Amino acid sequence: MTPAAEMSIRRALVVGAIALAAIAPLAINTYWLRVLSTVFLYASLASAVNLMAGYTGCPAFGNVVFFGLGAYTTGIVMGKLQGPFWLGLGVGVAVCAGYAVVVGLPVLRLRGHYFAIATLGMNEGTRRLIENLSGLTGGGMGLALPIPPGDVRSANAYVYFLVLGLLLAVLGTTFAVMRSRLGYGCRAIRFDEEGAASCGVPTMRYKITMWVISAVFTGLAGGIYAHWFGYIEPGAVFDMTISVKCFVMMLVGGIATVLGPLYGAILIELLGLAAWSTLLRYHTAVLGLLVIAVVLIAPSGLMGLGAQRLSARALLANIRANRL
């Protein structure tokens, strides 16, 4: 198959998948609509982490801080100021982008586990600040805000299309970044930051730019989450479990790939759902074992299975050719 034909097939598959996702609310019930919405939300978060950890090599374990900031900014605009959802979402994007720049200037000078620990502290410090601003954020009691309008079915369909749009936006951005000067520069930073800097790559600027992009999409996910559930509290939206789950999805699906986080989110969420519905209190242990099995079978993630299969085919073809 020629590269042009293969590209045409891939494009047709992408268009078909988007069309199926667009008509899904017409064919599935409310329960599965919420499940798909959750999958798409986590896929968006994992893709945002992938932009920073996958392409730049900066393990931003505290990236959930932007999820919490986006959720609380949207909640304050809607709940306290009685503003519209879209205004809260826009203000949340601005807050997350500004926070990523201000905090990124000192934090991104750290590397490896030092950077990871710094992001964990950043998340915990921001969470404590939110808890102490009780007059504005509701403190530990949380904050209530208006839920999507309409009946249960229409409200869930509305949220579904919001998270679907967010997922398409972050995947499209990842695809564009991967083929841009920024993407090539960030991959050079991941492999050898000193070497990249000696070749003229503006390492600090590229890392901050990528973190701002990651923060914007994470903040958007937080704002949609707050609007979806109608209630937020610090322990839920600054929960480190969200970051850990996103890293697992990214690693299982395939690090530094466009569709890897989506595949990882689908697998982890559906496995978790199946384990919860059948094994109840043992579901966490079983899910952990399944994740370990996937990582052992496909150390490069699900996206790496295709490359391994192609390499095996090429090897067999070469052996046959040499025999002949």
pLDDT for residue 315? 36
Q: For residues 271 and 132, give the distance between their C-alpha atoms in angstroms, rounded to a whole number.
A: 38
pLDDT digits (tens), the chain, 324 positions? 666 676 777 778 888 888 889 998 888 899 899 999 999 999 999 999 999 999 999 999 999 999 999 999 999 999 889 999 999 999 999 999 999 999 999 999 998 889 999 999 999 999 999 999 988 999 888 899 888 877 888 999 999 999 999 999 999 999 999 999 999 999 999 999 999 999 999 999 999 999 999 999 999 999 999 999 999 999 999 999 899 889 889 988 888 899 999 999 998 888 777 766 666 566 666 666 766 777 677 766 777 665 545 444 543 454 455 543
pLDDT at 254: 87
Measure the CA–CA gap between 237 and 240, rounded to whole angstroms. 9
Predicted local distance difference test score (pLDDT) of residue 44 = 96
pLDDT of residue 135: 87
Task: Quote the pLDDT of residue 324.
Answer: 39
Angle at 221 between CA 145 and CA 85, to 5 degrees: 40
Q: How far is CA 221 from CA 36, 40, 150, 166, in A?
A: 14, 10, 21, 8
Query: Secondary structure of the chain in the HEC alphabet?
Result: CCHHHHHHHHHHHHHHHHHHHHHHHHHCCHHHHHHHHHHHHHHHHHHHHHHHHHCCCCCCCCCHHHHHHHHHHHHHHHHHCCCCHHHHHHHHHHHHHHHHHHHHHHHCCCCHHHHHHHHHHHHHHHHHHHHHCHHHHCHHHCEECCCCCCCHHHHHHHHHHHHHHHHHHHHHHHHHHHCCHHHHHHHHHHHCHHHHHHCCCCHHHHHHHHHHHHHHHHHHHHHHHHHHHCEECHHHHCCHHHHHHHHHHHHHHCCCCCCHHHHHHHHHHHHHHHHHHHHHHHHHHHHHHHHHHHHHHCCCCHHHHHHHHHHHHHHHHHHHHHHC
Single out the residue of 10, 320, 56, 26 nearest to residue 204, CA to CA: 56
The structure's pTM equals 0.89
C-alpha to C-alpha distance for 209 and 203, rounded to whole angstroms? 10
**What's the rounded Cα separation, in Å, for the pair 301 and 268?**
12
Answer yes or no: are the C-beta atoms of 187 and 55 closer than 8 Å.
yes
